Amino acid sequence: MSTITLGARAPANPAAKPLKLQDDKAMLRAAAELTRDLGVPRPAVYWADLLGSASIGYAALAGAVSLRGGWAWAAGVVAVLALYRAMSFIHEVSHLKLSGPMRGFGQGFDAVVGVPMLIPSFMYEGVHTLHHARTRYGTADDPEYLPLALMKPWTLPVFILVSTLAPVGLLLRYGVLAPLSVVIPGLRRAVVERYSALAINPRFRRRAPEGGAKRYWDRVELLAALWAVALIAMVATGVIPLRAFGIGFAIASLVAVTNQVRTLVAHLWENDGEPMSVTAQYLDSVNVPPPALLPMLWAPVGLRYHALHHLLPGLPYHALGEAHRRLTAALEAESPFHRASYTGLPFLAVKIGRSTLGRR
């Protein structure tokens, strides 16, 4: 079994870096064979986690608004972490087969989190799966990839700072642009293509939904727009005090920043736009497994196993820990599998920062 050494990969073998278009067949075969029994999602786990996280988050948000002093700050921290965890289920919704025992979970996410927080599931469904496409990952057609490690140093702070404005962007998208786009056809096209995806690639343009997906999109977007307009009206008329709105805005902004920081260290961002093998995609992604404890807060709902998720995107989040343990024990030390494991966020942030400094 491999071990993790503080401040380094675990274990690292610089000479073992595969070519971009080559796959380690032994690793892929082991990943498929050792996890066959882990692919069934457990509805009770999903529902309890989503509803529990959202309930704690909203209660803590109310506490942050109503309390004073240290208790208000403590409630605010809990609200950020709990709501971030609840909102992270949008990633699972984009991968789940929402039928059988998981039927209704997507609608449940939208009712509990998607509409209230103005991140309905359609902003990720049909977008995130493109990030996993064999020929798209790391290319200009990937909505969730920027070669950050190959860009100038100033791009990293800008990448983080821009996320502080996410609540403003979402409020404008649903409270202003959505209503206007109903009567302005040209604006509607721009809203769908450019402002309806949780993407970081500024060149990405999403396709308009069709059929049942469009009908569901229209219903959920209407609800989100009504809520956004109502929220703007309540703040403008004093029904919601500016202090309460400011606290809510700050919490939503910190949720967005936390997610952006996690996104920054979810990959190494070293691809120059060429297609990559599954193994190369895995090695460009990051696992932060135990014994590290903090990743359960800043990379919740299985996101601490991001590289493993790229290797086995169909596994439910609650199975990733067991899958990682099995593969860690089964694969020899020279396997590329171990080279995607890191000790934590600080080391990864410094690594990416050093890469950009080398581009000056």
Q: How far is residue 268's CA from residue 287's CA, in Å, rounded to a whole number?
A: 11
Q: Check residue 6 and give its pLDDT.
A: 28
Answering whether pTM is above 0.75, one says yes
* Boundaries of every domain in the chain: 41-357
Radius of gyration of the CA atoms of the chain, in A? 21
CB 356 within 8 A of CB 306: no
Residue 266 has pLDDT above 70, yes or no: yes
Instruction: Convert 199-233 to b/e letters by CB count within 10 Å (16 or more is b).
Output: bbbeebebeebeeeeeebbeebbebbbebbbebbe
Q: What is the pLDDT of residues 125-149, one digit of tens each?
A: 999 999 998 889 999 999 999 999 9
pLDDT at 360 (0 to 100) = 58
pLDDT at 26 > cutoff 60: yes
The SS3 call for residue 48 is helix
Rounded (10°) angle between helices 69-87 and 242-264 = 50
Average pLDDT over residues 215-244: 97
Percent of the chain past pLDDT 70, that is, above it, reads 93
Give the tens place of pLDDT for each residue, 141-183. 999 999 999 999 999 999 999 999 999 999 999 999 999 999 9
Is the pLDDT at 16 greater than 50? The verdict is no
- Residue 20: pLDDT band with limits 50, 70, 90: low
Q: Residue 202 pLDDT more than 50?
A: yes
The better pLDDT of the pair 13, 129 is held by: 129
Digit-coded pLDDT (tens) for 28-78: 999 999 999 999 999 999 999 999 999 999 999 999 999 999 999 999 999
User: Mean pLDDT, to the nearest integer, of 4-10?
Assistant: 33
Q: What is the reported pLDDT for 21?
A: 66
Count CB atoms within 10 A of the CB of residue 335: 19
**What pLDDT does 134 receive?**
85
Range 218-231 average pLDDT: 98
Residue 259, pLDDT above cutoff 50:
yes
pLDDT of residue 98: 82
**Spatial CA neighbour of 45 closest among 301, 292, 310:** 301
Please say if the pLDDT value at position 359 is more than 90: no
Backbone angles phi, psi at 267, to 5 degrees: -135, 170
When the pLDDT of each residue in the chain is averaged and rounded to a whole number, the result is: 92
